[in-house]
């Protein structure tokens, strides 16, 4: 559907939306494809059919019920990609608990905020990964774990958290072991699980995804069964998935990219989800694509770049590949051509959207002309309305720049416990304002040309300067700070900070970076820091970050 001459489209559809819960739909898929492979987790040597996956899911679901987790309770999941992550996603959905995705890179400052913001009752946590000792961080925030029974936590810093469930087998005071929780369910809990399938509703909140905010702390985008189940299904349909497909998922599950466009896309079509490793590694990814004969591969552009740049790239047989989705950051046209030609991904699709729309509102399709697939983000996905507006809210003419807005089934319920910022993002007519600047052509294809919001995209990770600035202000020597992004050939953008120190104070770049480490995610730590006496401003006192970025790039070019 279109309005002649105007930048408005509604994605065409030839079937109704799925109006059901994730749990019910999952059970129907298990009935249809019980013996098909559902999940392969290479680094854990896990290989489950749909029947086996369903057994594991129900074991965790009934265990959570035995712990007292009720519909609507928030359950955090913290750790890299794993079989436990997938089980948590499906088990919480089946009992109506709201899964809260916590970034594996979070440190103390961010973890405390996230758990308290949504009042998590329980958290399922990995033991450790790389430089992150998750359980030690939880024990630092809640030292009371050392003197309490599992499930009986009373913490001064985390007042809502009652239970910590640890992946792995090393016993820790005050914590449950994941495997033991899976064995807790009794007959009564299995009956409750059955009863819940008719009580839970498709429009119930089921997932909270934290997105950084331009006006401060992260916001919890609240998504429903209907939101993410349909977005996963329709993205898989765009990839032309069947039960014979095998999707390699090297992207993190804590993002919608992994859990919706990966896990749910596979599940809704009876396909197999393949996790090559706990976190992205280009060599392992290509090895797994070859050994598992994957037909699909997801990734942000930098992932595909690093795969193509491997010295051993030509040694891998990637001829099984056909499709996948590239999203998370703008893709250079040349990279897209190489992915299509060298990786055999002739039907690779470009996806665009944001967490708040579950996450896709645009997608290219296999039959789209090659120039549309490499130069645009495609057209509106089925049953979603898109308009591009000017600063007064009017729909602009085709070919004109404006803000991309979305309305439809995929728009989130709102930001958790934050009505003000929800109203700033979703207008009274139900349109979600993206902050991205786009142009729509006469066929409905959209090109993203800029951002209204002051957001940095570093290697597919969204970083909002205001959030980082507020953290840097907590340093006792910093009087004022401005954060912005500068271009980077490998990661797209790098984080840069200009800081003004308090009188008679001294501070080095390394000292300020060290202050960040352990408190905020590694990808947010400024790569470039400059200490200044003043910031470039307009005559009205508005700081001009673009001038800082230009000056910083000139300075780095000289070095």
User: Alpha-carbon distance 269 to 266, whole Å?
Assistant: 6
Q: Are strands 205-213 and 432-440 parallel, antiparallel or unpaired?
A: unpaired
By CB neighbour count within 10 A (0-12 exposed, 13-18 middle, 19+ buried), where does 57 fall?
Answer: buried
User: Alpha-carbon distance 363 to 411, whole Å?
Assistant: 16
Residue where the block lists tokens 């774990």: 145
pLDDT at 36 over 90: yes
End-to-end CA distance of the chain: 53
361 in helix, strand or coil?
Answer: strand
At 71, phi and psi to the nearest 5? -55, 135
Beta bridge pairs of residue 414: 222
User: Alpha-carbon distance 333 to 370, whole Å?
Assistant: 10
**pLDDT computed for residue 542 by the predictor:** 60
**pLDDT computed for residue 559 by the predictor:** 65
Per residue in 86-95, pLDDT (tens digit) is 999 999 999 9
- Which residues in 133-204 belong to E strands, given as ranges? 163-166, 176-177
User: Alpha-carbon distance 229 to 358, whole Å?
Assistant: 9
556 in helix, strand or coil?
Answer: helix
**pLDDT computed for residue 215 by the predictor:** 45
Per residue in 198-207, pLDDT (tens digit) is 999 999 999 9
Among 201, 234, 269, the domain boundary falls at 201
Per residue in 372-396, pLDDT (tens digit) is 988 899 999 999 999 999 989 999 9
If pLDDT is split at 50, 70 and 90, which confidence band does 541 have?
low
pLDDT at 3 over 90: no
pLDDT at 540 over 50: no
Question: Could you write out the DSSP letters of every residue in 11-79?
Answer: B--SS----S-HHHHHHHHHHH-TTSEEEEEGGGTEEEEHHHHHHHHHHHHHHHHHTT--TT-EEEEES
If pLDDT is split at 50, 70 and 90, which confidence band does 109 have?
very high
**pLDDT computed for residue 214 by the predictor:** 41
Q: Which of 507, 516, 524 is nearest to 474 (CA)?
A: 516
Residue 101 lies in a domain: yes
**pLDDT computed for residue 480 by the predictor:** 82
User: Alpha-carbon distance 67 to 75, whole Å?
Assistant: 12
Please state which of the ranges 104-108, 296-300, 319-323, 450-454 shows the lowest mean pLDDT: 450-454
Q: What is the mean pLDDT of residues 317-321?
A: 98
Residue where the block lists tokens 């910022």: 421
Residue 388 lies in a domain: no
pLDDT at 538 over 70: no
pLDDT at 415 over 50: yes
Residue 193 lies in a domain: yes
Contact 459, 390 (CB under 8 A): no
Residue 168: give its domain's CATH number.
3.40.50.980
Residue 241 lies in a domain: no
User: Alpha-carbon distance 386 to 53, whole Å?
Assistant: 37
If pLDDT is split at 50, 70 and 90, which confidence band does 305 have?
confident
Per residue in 237-286, pLDDT (tens digit) is 999 999 999 999 999 999 999 999 999 999 999 999 999 999 999 999 99
- Omega cis (within 30) before 384: no
Residue 493 lies in a domain: yes
Residue 526: give its domain's CATH number.
3.30.300.30
247 in helix, strand or coil?
Answer: strand
Q: Kindly report the CA angle at 335 between 332 and 336, in degrees rounded to 5? A: 90
Q: Are strands 98-102 and 74-78 parallel, antiparallel or unpaired?
A: parallel
User: Alpha-carbon distance 419 to 422, whole Å?
Assistant: 5
Per residue in 461-504, pLDDT (tens digit) is 878 787 888 799 889 999 888 999 998 888 989 999 999 898 89
User: Alpha-carbon distance 424 to 219, whole Å?
Assistant: 12
How far, in whole angstroms, is CA 229 from its chain's centroid?
Answer: 15
Residue 242 lies in a domain: no
**pLDDT computed for residue 212 by the predictor:** 66
pLDDT at 532 over 50: yes
- Which residues in 214-280 belong to E strands, given as ranges? 216-224, 246-248, 272-275
Per residue in 148-199, pLDDT (tens digit) is 999 999 999 999 999 999 998 888 999 999 999 999 999 999 999 999 999 9
H/E run at residue 549: helix 545-558
Q: Which of 467, 464, 484 is nearest to 519 (CA)?
A: 467
Among 154, 180, 201, the domain boundary falls at 201
Contact 384, 410 (CB under 8 A): yes
Residue 548 lies in a domain: yes
Question: Could you write out the DSSP letters of every residue in 275-315?
Answer: E-SSS--HHHHHHHHHHHT-SEE-B-HHHHHHHHT-TTGGG
Contact 52, 38 (CB under 8 A): yes
Residue 438 lies in a domain: no
**pLDDT computed for residue 437 by the predictor:** 86
**pLDDT computed for residue 297 by the predictor:** 98
User: Could you give the number of structural domains in the chain?
Assistant: 2
Sign of the dihedral through C-alpha 12, 13, 19, 20: negative
Q: What is the mean pLDDT of residues 37-65?
A: 98
- Which residues in 315-441 belong to E strands, given as ranges? 323-326, 347-353, 360-363, 379-380, 384-389, 401-408, 414-415, 432-440
400 in helix, strand or coil?
Answer: coil
User: Alpha-carbon distance 321 to 286, whole Å?
Assistant: 11
Among 138, 170, 201, the domain boundary falls at 201
Q: What is the mean pLDDT of residues 2-6?
A: 83
pLDDT greater at residue 335 or residue 96 = 96
Q: What is the mean pLDDT of the chain?
A: 94
Residue 419 CB contacts under 8 Å (≥ 6 apart), including other chains: none
* Residue ranges making up the domain that contains 501: 457-558
83 in helix, strand or coil?
Answer: helix
132 in helix, strand or coil?
Answer: strand
């Amino acid at each position: 559907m279109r309005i002649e001459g105007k930048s408005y489209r509604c994605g065409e559809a030839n079937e109704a939306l799925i109006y059901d819960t994730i749990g019910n739909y999952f059970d129907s898929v298990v009935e249809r494809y019980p013996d098909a492979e559902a999940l392969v987790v290479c680094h854990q040597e896990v290989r489950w059919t749909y029947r086996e996956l369903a057994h594991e899911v129900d074991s965790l679901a009934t265990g959570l019920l035995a712990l007292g987790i009720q519909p609507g309770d928030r359950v955090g999941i913290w750790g890299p990609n794993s079989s436990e992550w997938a089980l948590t996603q499906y088990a919480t959905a089946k009992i109506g608990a709201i899964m809260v995705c916590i970034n594996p890179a979070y440190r103390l400052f961010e973890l405390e905020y996230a758990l308290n913001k949504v009042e998590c009752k329980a958290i399922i946590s990995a033991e450790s990964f790389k430089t992150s000792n998750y359980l030690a961080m939880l024990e630092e925030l809640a030292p009371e774990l050392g003197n309490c029974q599992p499930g009986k936590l009373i913490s001064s810093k985390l007042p809502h958290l009652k239970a910590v469930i640890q992946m792995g087998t090393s016993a820790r005071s005050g914590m449950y072991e994941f495997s033991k929780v899976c064995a807790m369910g009794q007959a009564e809990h299995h009956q409750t699980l059955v009863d819940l399938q008719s009580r839970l509703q498709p429009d119930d909140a089921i997932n909270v995804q934290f997105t950084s905010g331009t006006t401060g702390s992260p916001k919890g985008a609240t998504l429903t069964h209907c939101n993410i189940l349909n977005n996963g299904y329709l993205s898989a349909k765009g990839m032309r998935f069947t039960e014979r497909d095998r999707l390699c998922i090297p992207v993190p599950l804590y993002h919608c990219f992994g859990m919706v466009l990966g896990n749910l896309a596979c599940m809704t079509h009876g396909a197999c989800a393949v996790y090559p490793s706990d976190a992205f590694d280009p060599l392992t990814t290509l090895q797994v694509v070859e050994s598992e004969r994957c037909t699909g591969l997801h990734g942000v552009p930098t992932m595909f770049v690093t795969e193509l740049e491997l010295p051993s790239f030509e040694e891998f047989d990637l001829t099984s590949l056909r499709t996948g989705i590239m999203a998370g950051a703008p893709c250079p046209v040349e990279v897209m051509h190489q992915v299509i030609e060298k990786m055999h991904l002739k039907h690779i699709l470009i996806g665009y959207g944001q967490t708040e729309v579950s996450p896709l509102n645009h997608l290219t399709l296999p039959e789209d002309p090659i120039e549309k697939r490499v130069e645009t983000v495609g057209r509106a996905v089925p049953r979603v309305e898109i308009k591009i507006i000017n600063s007064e809210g009017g729909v602009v003419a085709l070919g004109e720049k404006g803000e991309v807005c979305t309305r439809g089934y995929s728009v989130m319920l709102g930001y958790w416990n934050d009505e003000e910022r929800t109203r700033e993002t979703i207008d009274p007519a139900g349109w979600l304002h993206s902050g991205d600047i786009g142009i729509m052509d006469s066929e409905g294809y959209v090109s993203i040309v800029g951002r209204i919001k002051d957001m940095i995209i570093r290697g597919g990770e969204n970083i909002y300067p205001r959030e980082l600035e507020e953290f840097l202000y907590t340093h006792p020597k910093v009087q004022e700070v401005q954060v912005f992004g500068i271009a980077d050939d490998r990661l797209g953008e790098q984080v840069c900070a200009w800081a003004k120190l308090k009188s008679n104070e001294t501070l080095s770049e390394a000292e300020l970076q060290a202050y960040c480490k352990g408190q905020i995610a590694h990808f947010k730590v400024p790569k470039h820091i400059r200490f200044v006496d003043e910031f470039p401003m307009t005559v009205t006192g508005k700081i001009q970050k673009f001038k800082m970025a230009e000056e910083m790039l000139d300075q780095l070019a000289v070095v």
